[in-house]
Amino acid sequence: MSDNQFRFQDLEIWKRGAVVKGSGTASDADFANFLNISRRSVFEVANILMILSKNDYLLAETIQILLAELGEQSRMLLAFRRSPKS
């Protein structure tokens, strides 16, 4: 058993910064909706990175590293959303 006070603290998704706010929702449906919103936010950040890349504000290598991390966060959110415990 974990010593953490909140259920999100043991999640790898939380450790990567993708889930916090929705973990205190009242119902499973609310939490599932929050996970969907979180995943859409990941896509928004990816879009912003692509715009920054297009306008040469960040190095292409940096963009690729960040996009890879966002891709992983998106997959983790989707898997967590589909898991029976979420």
**According to the model, what pLDDT value does residue 23 have?**
59
**According to the model, what pLDDT value does residue 6 have?**
64
Q: Which of 84, 70, 81, 79 is closest to 17 using CA atoms?
A: 70
Q: Which of 10, 34, 38 is closest to 22 using CA atoms?
A: 34
Residues 8 and 23: beta-carbon distance below 8 Å: yes
The rounded average pLDDT for each run of 10 residues, N- to C-terminus, in the chain (86 residues) is: 63 68 69 85 93 92 94 90 71
